[in-house]
Amino acid sequence: MAHQIKWLGHASFEIVSSEGARLLIDPYLEDNPSAPEEEPAEADIILITHDHFDHLESVEEKVADDGVIVGQPEVLAKIQDNNSSNLTEDNFLNGGLGMNIGGTVSLKGQEITMVQALHSGEDGAPAGYIITLNDDKTVYHAGDTGIFSSMELFNELYDIDLALLPIGSVFTMDPLQAAKAVELLKPDIVVPMHYGTFPILVAEADQFVDLVSRQQPSTEVVVLEPGESCSL
C-alpha cells in the first residue's frame, strides 16, 4: 500500500502512511475558504510549522485522544494556554517541551525532523518538517518560507521524495523562487501549496509548473485541487 498525501487547501495536508499512521500538517479547516467539504479524521500526529492563525486553527479538534501535537516549545505553550478542550500533557510532544530546529524525533513509526524556514511568527521561530515515513520515503513540508540556499543540503542529507512548497508570494516564495527551490531540493515530486486561498495570493500554479518543467524537468509537478490526493 502506498502513502497517501491529501491537500486540504492552503498549507494544510493529511498524510496517511502505508501502515495507517495519520498525520496532519498545519490544520486550517474551519475558516479556510479553500478547504474541502469533507474534513479529515482525527490525527495520530499533528505538525505545526508556526503560530499564525492559518496554520493551527483546528489543532484541538483534530488530534486523536492518544495523538501528539508537534511544534516548538513556544508554539505548544501557546496552544496549551488557549486549550479549551480536554487535551493533556500527553497530547503534546515531550509533555509540551516540543522540539526545535535540527532535532529529530520518532513518533508512531515515523521520523520527524524540524528544519528552518524564513518567515515570521509571534511565538517561536517558523519551521518546516522533513518526515521520513515507515519505508524511508521522505516528505518535506517547507512551511511558510522564502527561498534559502541550504535547501540544497536537505536533498543531500535526506534525498527528498516529495516536496510541498509554497508558491503564493506576498507572505512566502513566489513561483520564480519556488521553482529555484525545486532545483536545489531535486525531489522526485513537488506539490505547490499556499496559493489561491485569498485574492492577495498568486491564483494559479501555471507559472510554477512551466518554470519547473524547464529548470528541473526530472521533477514531476503534481497540482492538486483541495481534497485531492497523490501517492508516494
The full set of domain ranges for the chain reads 4-231
Neighbouring residues of 2: CB distance < 8 A, sequence distance ≥ 6: 18, 231, 232
pTM: 0.97
The angle, 0 to 180 degrees and rounded to 10, between the axes of the packed helices 175-185 and 206-215 is 40
Q: Which amino acid is at 60?
A: E
Specify the CATH number of the domain 4-231: 3.60.15.10
For residue 84, the model assigns a pLDDT of: 64
DSSP for residue 16:
E
Which residues on neighbouring strands pair with residue 192, listed in sequence order?
165
For 76, the grid coordinates are: 505548544
Angle at 7 between CA 55 and CA 173, to 5 degrees: 60
pLDDT tens string for the chain (232 positions)? Answer: 799 999 999 999 999 999 999 999 999 999 999 999 999 999 999 999 999 999 988 898 899 999 999 999 999 999 988 876 778 999 999 999 999 999 999 999 999 999 999 999 999 999 999 999 989 999 999 999 999 999 999 999 999 999 999 999 999 999 999 999 999 999 999 999 999 999 999 999 999 999 999 999 999 999 999 999 999 9
Angle at 112 between CA 96 and CA 39, to 5 degrees: 80
Closest CA to 166 of 193, 199, 201: 193
